[in-house]
Structure 1
Amino acid sequence: MSTHPTSLSCTSLDFSWPDGTPVFEGLQVAFGPGRTGLIGVNGSGKSTLLKLLAGELVPAEGAVKAIGEVGYLPQNVTLDTAVRVDEALGIAGARAALHAIEAGDASEENFTAVGDDWDVEERALATLGELGLGALDLDRTIGEVSGGESVLLRLAALLLRRPDVLLLDEPTNNLDLYARRHLYAAVDAFPGILVVVSHDRELLDRVDHIADLRDGEVTWYGGNFSAYEEALAAEQEAAERMVRVAESDLKKQKRELADAQVKLARRKRYGQKMWDQKREPKIVMGNRKRAAQESAGKHRIMHQEKLAEAKERLDDAIEAVRDDDEIRVDLPHTLVHPGRHVLTLRELSLRYGARVDGEFWLRGPERIALIGRNGAGKTTLLRTIAGELEPVEGVAEAHVPLRFLPQRLDVLDPELTVAENVARYAPDATYNRIRARLARFLFKGARADQRAGTLSGGERFRAALAALLLAEPAPQLLMLDEPTNNLDMASVKQLSSALESYEGALIVASHDMPFLESIGITRWLLLDGEVKEISQEETAEIAQ
């Protein structure tokens, strides 16, 4: 880590998508010491901003300035399973040189490769241990590591470089409850500038500042996410009061304009009466008529200007009130009566060793939470129930129509538009019905004609969920694998609300405890070699 003052800033930053759609125009933002949570609705440009800060993307105009080394953890991490752990950590060369020196090869090349990093092995092992990866030997190949282990291994590689700035994009997406604890500890201990994009409330409650990215601009809030919510609620309450004041003022100005017009009409009728009766000299009446017309014109202009100003104040007040687009999931009628058999698992053995001893029944509209460490087999179990994988032995039988939304969202064809993807699952649905339903998932107008391959993570989730829920027949068993991974906080809340009204059976594999608790889970299953039912109290202990 550098001994010089560290800073990270954007100046007059412009960036657009290849199709010309602007993302940022003249963005000015600077990140100081401490931990910053970068938040915003899906599609606001959070990941794009991190890529610009990391140098992964080049702005059309303006500049990104970073003093100190920058480490960047992208949202989607993939590692070559054939490489060794020390290669993945980026220390293979220094480590080989260190071993050669210890063996007596004192060549200049080896000393150059080691530099000042004589404790590289010790630091690597300590870092792996701190992140819960102590079982990974530096000399072994990575092999089939889980998604969560890939994230932590990539983070370990970044931390070993001792960066001054650390940029994290949704780092908890693939982490189980245990791995998240290690990540939180690493975030707490990082001494430099840290900017994290996340929907993980517990992680966001560990930051020092919140940077809210909205409409291409950043608004700063001191404190963690809970403090941000309180500040935002106060702001919105004040904004709504201003709307009421502006609406009252607009009504008043309309009323005064109407009253003024009535008075002017009366004066005009009186003047016309005087003219018709010729009670005054013609020149006097002419002067009076011109003066009245000028006065009436000025009066009318004054009230119209006041009315226009009142309308402008109302528009400004309304603009200050947030009306964030959120998923509006209108689930189809999927009632499952209590007691009806929905799913049977019997003496089931899965690939990679997990099993279900005896029989497991899911009856009626039960809500099952499936938890366990990364690599325990949660996704394998869901894919087996969905019929995508054959069990090693035993039975997995669904008795109702089911749909499975996988973590990788690979139910979409990236070359087809959103509307075309939905049509694949509901071939009998009319064009108008598909478009109308897609609008409730925030794909309105031209957005429904976007190719799936160009969508952001949150947009892909919405498109995939729309495709499955519009499918025919509608699912009476819905299985979701880490559904909140790519959703902003508002969309997570809306998804929770939608699933609360779902009348079918539900199985959700997730590490997001607040989300699971919000959707009315009725049974908790822990997958740890075998599937076993645990109490909610035991679940809370595991989450600690």
Structure 2
Amino acid sequence: MSFSIVVDHVSFAWPDGTMVLDGLDAAFPAGRTGLIGANGSGKSTLLRIIAGELTPGSGSVSVTGEVGYLPQNVPLAGSRTVSDLLEISGKRAALNAVENGDVAEEHFTAIGDDWDVEERARAELDRLGLGHVGLDRTVATLSGGEAVMVALAAQLLKRPAVLLLDEPTNNLDLDARRRLHAAVSAYPGVLVVVSHDRALLGLVDQVAELRDAAVRLYGGNLSDYERQAAAEQEAAERTVRTAEGEVRRQRRELIEARTKLDRRGRNARKAFENKKVPKIVAGGLKMKAQVSAGKHRALHEERLAEARDRLTEAELAVRDDAEIRVELPGTAVPAGRTLLTLPLDRPDRPERPDGAAGRDGLKALDRLVVRGPERIALLGPNGSGKTTLLRRIVEHGAHVPVGYLPQRLDVLDDALSVVDNVRAVAPAASVNEVRARLARFLFRGARADQPVGTLSGGERFRAALAALLSADPPPQLLLLDEPTNNLDLSSVRQLSQALAAYRGALVVASHDVPFLETLGITRWLRQDRDEGLAES
């Protein structure tokens, strides 16, 4: 197999000394590769090193061909235009100058062979569902999803041999995700994508897992990877059980050997005391017994140590897929109890009674009523007002305590530890009670004392969720806004586990339909710019 990207013993640390990659070796073949791994394992850092945005402390990277890179967070501030983000402003200016009669050589040099660059740019934007976005529009006026798609269009326009995508589906609505999936499927070059989007990872040719400071390739898409990983996990667990049995056997044999040797020593002493053997013979027997005992003890202890080493090695091969455990009896609400009644502002349109079928057969709503313990999915395109609706619920208030987790996870104090953040919302709880709660969210020991500002995206989400669910009183209506953004596959699974144990009502705004389907959704609502809120 030939490799288009080769990472040779690369190490990288942040200025504060935090080591991210340590002697990493990796190689990516032609085709589409999905790069997965736990939050904080270094996936984004690795992409930035391959793209040349970061310089490794040691080691090297070789790439065959030009590299294009779509970062996880596309800058939206400033006065840059869509044309600037597409990196065609210089060529457009040169084209405009030539069309106005300026035949200076630098204009032709700037244009090169790209005389149709504007047409190609507009065609690429249209293909990605951005036909309504003008080239001179400022980036600051774009939604997060639109900015991501424009940045993707910029990379596709350049036609790089190698394209790196970091969580490209974050902030994208369902239609935009489908268009991105189509673009990825049609991409002719080498592509490496970091993502937790199961549908996107279903399109790749191989999966590369960054785990335990090493990258391992698995042939096939995400489903193939999960089957292979499950088989490996099962084999590793069998090996652990075998190694545990060997440790028990060696420990038992060591005890039996010691017992046998002790018995021999006692017999020798009795024989001497009963004058059955001469003193010199008894001394020789005693010396022989001591030497023999030492050899046997050393042999069995060595075997036991080897068995323990094999057990440790076997345990390291087992994946640590820790599960979040949540016990929140205070969040339970009676079935059918009305928790929220929120009047809704209808867009300007012909009056229809509440519940009347509108476009796509959806039932228009004049008010949002939530009864416990419902699980409501809130869908809708980018910019349709889902976040605004969740904030209105918080401002309006409900008949029960409400918890709200926004997209930006800015509900925590970065300067405080995880423990202190939870204590701030649960002042009546003792430190030991808080630590016990955090342990259920996988913050154990010193990890609970980390400043929140040092946490990875997935860790920060778990900390925010722990604080939210530990509040006094605990929320009986929980609002989540795009909760799976920036979460790795393991963190998404952990979130599903936590929400499965939640006994209150739930409203989740998300574009991640596979995640929503794991939550046992009881009602599907859609927020639309023109139609308002409707129920399927």
TM-score (norm 2): 0.91
Whether the aligned pair in 2 keeps the contact of 1:326 and 1:490 (CA below 8 Å) is: no
Equivalent-residue separation in structure 2 for 1:446 and 1:99 (angstroms): 61
Give the structure 1 partner of residue 333 of structure 2: 336
Q: Against the structure 1 CA distance between its residues 342 and 212, is the aligned structure 2 distance closer, same or farther, given a 3 Å change threshold?
A: same
Name the SS of the counterpart of 1:386 in structure 2.
helix
Report the Cα offset of residue 318 of structure 1.
1.5
> Which moves more between the two structures, 295-304 or 416-425?
416-425
Residue identity opposite 1:71 in structure 2: G
> Which moves more between the two structures, 273-282 or 101-110?
273-282
Equivalent-residue separation in structure 1 for 2:183 and 2:146 (angstroms): 15
Whether the aligned pair in 1 keeps the contact of 2:365 and 2:534 (CA below 8 Å) is: no
Residue identity opposite 1:442 in structure 2: L
Residue identity opposite 1:362 in structure 2: V
Residue identity opposite 1:229 in structure 2: E
Q: How does 1:349-388 map to 2 (within 5 A)?
A: 358-387=366-395
Give the structure 2 partner of residue 530 of structure 1: 531
Name the SS of the counterpart of 1:348 in structure 2.
coil
Equivalent-residue separation in structure 2 for 1:446 and 1:251 (angstroms): 32
Task: Tell whether 2:203 aligns with 1:202.
Answer: no
Equivalent-residue separation in structure 2 for 1:186 and 1:54 (angstroms): 20
Equivalent-residue separation in structure 2 for 1:415 and 1:402 (angstroms): 25
Whether the aligned pair in 2 keeps the contact of 1:332 and 1:469 (CA below 8 Å) is: no
Give the structure 2 partner of residue 247 of structure 1: 244
Equivalent-residue separation in structure 1 for 2:421 and 2:17 (angstroms): 25
Whether the aligned pair in 1 keeps the contact of 2:3 and 2:28 (CA below 8 Å) is: no
Residue identity opposite 1:511 in structure 2: H
Give the structure 1 partner of residue 34 of structure 2: 37
Deviations, residues 98-136 of structure 1 (Å, cap 9, x unaligned)? 222233322111011111222211221121122111111
Give the structure 2 partner of residue 487 of structure 1: 487
The counterpart of 2:178, out of the listed 167, 176, 181, is: 181
Residue identity opposite 2:183 in structure 1: A
The counterpart of 2:72, out of the listed 70, 75, 79, is: 75
Report the Cα offset of residue 308 of structure 1.
1.2
Whether the aligned pair in 2 keeps the contact of 1:348 and 1:357 (CA below 8 Å) is: no
Name the SS of the counterpart of 1:370 in structure 2.
strand
Q: Against the structure 1 CA distance between its residues 447 and 247, is the aligned structure 2 distance closer, same or farther, given a 3 Å change threshold?
A: closer
Q: How does 1:465-480 map to 2 (within 5 A)?
A: 465-480=465-480
Name the SS of the counterpart of 2:345 in structure 1.
strand
Unaligned runs of 5+ in 2: 349-353, 355-363
Whether the aligned pair in 2 keeps the contact of 1:24 and 1:216 (CA below 8 Å) is: yes
Report the Cα offset of residue 347 of structure 1.
4.1
Residue identity opposite 1:473 in structure 2: P
Residue identity opposite 2:151 in structure 1: R
**RMSD of aligned residue pairs (Cα, Å):** 2.2
Equivalent-residue separation in structure 2 for 1:102 and 1:77 (angstroms): 33
Q: Against the structure 1 CA distance between its residues 327 and 90, is the aligned structure 2 distance closer, same or farther, given a 3 Å change threshold?
A: farther
Give the structure 1 partner of residue 360 of structure 2: none
Report the Cα offset of residue 504 of structure 1.
1.2
Equivalent-residue separation in structure 2 for 1:157 and 1:242 (angstroms): 50
Report the Cα offset of residue 507 of structure 1.
0.6
Report the Cα offset of residue 370 of structure 1.
0.6
Deviations, residues 133-173 of structure 1 (Å, cap 9, x unaligned)? 11112233345221111111111112222222211111111
Deviations, residues 26-53 of structure 1 (Å, cap 9, x unaligned)? 1111212111111112222222222222
Task: Tell whether 2:201 aligns with 1:193.
Answer: no
Task: Tell whether 2:496 aligns with 1:496.
Answer: yes
Equivalent-residue separation in structure 2 for 1:75 and 1:373 (angstroms): 20
> Which moves more between the two structures, 397-406 or 477-486?
397-406
Whether the aligned pair in 2 keeps the contact of 1:405 and 1:464 (CA below 8 Å) is: yes
Q: Percent identity?
A: 62
Give the structure 1 partner of residue 351 of structure 2: none
The counterpart of 1:169, out of the listed 146, 166, 170, is: 166
Equivalent-residue separation in structure 1 for 2:104 and 2:111 (angstroms): 11
Give the structure 2 partner of residue 26 of structure 1: 23
Equivalent-residue separation in structure 2 for 1:141 and 1:184 (angstroms): 26
Report the Cα offset of residue 285 of structure 1.
3.9
Whether the aligned pair in 1 keeps the contact of 2:365 and 2:535 (CA below 8 Å) is: no
Q: Against the structure 1 CA distance between its residues 244 and 357, is the aligned structure 2 distance closer, same or farther, given a 3 Å change threshold?
A: closer
Deviations, residues 52-77 of structure 1 (Å, cap 9, x unaligned)? 22233222222233332222222222
Q: How does 1:117-516 map to 2 (within 5 A)?
A: 117-142=114-139, 144-331=141-328, 333-348=330-345, 358-387=366-395, 396-516=396-516
Deviations, residues 171-208 of structure 1 (Å, cap 9, x unaligned)? 11111110001111111122222111111111111111
Whether the aligned pair in 1 keeps the contact of 2:323 and 2:497 (CA below 8 Å) is: no
> Which moves more between the two structures, 476-485 or 58-67?
58-67
Whether the aligned pair in 1 keeps the contact of 2:34 and 2:207 (CA below 8 Å) is: yes
Equivalent-residue separation in structure 2 for 1:338 and 1:295 (angstroms): 74
Residue identity opposite 2:85 in structure 1: A
Equivalent-residue separation in structure 1 for 2:441 and 2:14 (angstroms): 22
Deviations, residues 380-403 of structure 1 (Å, cap 9, x unaligned)? 11111111xxxxxxxx55222111
Report the Cα offset of residue 216 of structure 1.
1.0
Equivalent-residue separation in structure 1 for 2:10 and 2:327 (angstroms): 39
Report the Cα offset of residue 302 of structure 1.
1.2
Equivalent-residue separation in structure 2 for 1:257 and 1:430 (angstroms): 46
Report the Cα offset of residue 357 of structure 1.
5.0
> Which moves more between the two structures, 504-513 or 39-48?
39-48
Deviations, residues 86-106 of structure 1 (Å, cap 9, x unaligned)? 122110110121222233322
Equivalent-residue separation in structure 2 for 1:77 and 1:40 (angstroms): 22
Count of aligned pairs between the two proteins:
520
Name the SS of the counterpart of 1:86 in structure 2.
helix
Equivalent-residue separation in structure 2 for 1:429 and 1:71 (angstroms): 51
Name the SS of the counterpart of 1:171 in structure 2.
coil
Name the SS of the counterpart of 2:467 in structure 1.
helix
Unaligned runs of 5+ in 1: 388-395, 536-544
Equivalent-residue separation in structure 1 for 2:279 and 2:417 (angstroms): 77
Whether the aligned pair in 2 keeps the contact of 1:10 and 1:65 (CA below 8 Å) is: yes
Q: Against the structure 1 CA distance between its residues 17 and 449, is the aligned structure 2 distance closer, same or farther, given a 3 Å change threshold?
A: farther
Q: How does 1:90-101 map to 2 (within 5 A)?
A: 90-101=87-98
Whether the aligned pair in 1 keeps the contact of 2:326 and 2:501 (CA below 8 Å) is: no
Residue identity opposite 1:212 in structure 2: E
Residue identity opposite 2:47 in structure 1: L
The counterpart of 1:50, out of the listed 37, 47, 50, is: 47
Report the Cα offset of residue 18 of structure 1.
3.7
Report the Cα offset of residue 277 of structure 1.
3.6
Whether the aligned pair in 2 keeps the contact of 1:253 and 1:307 (CA below 8 Å) is: yes
Equivalent-residue separation in structure 2 for 1:171 and 1:350 (angstroms): 31
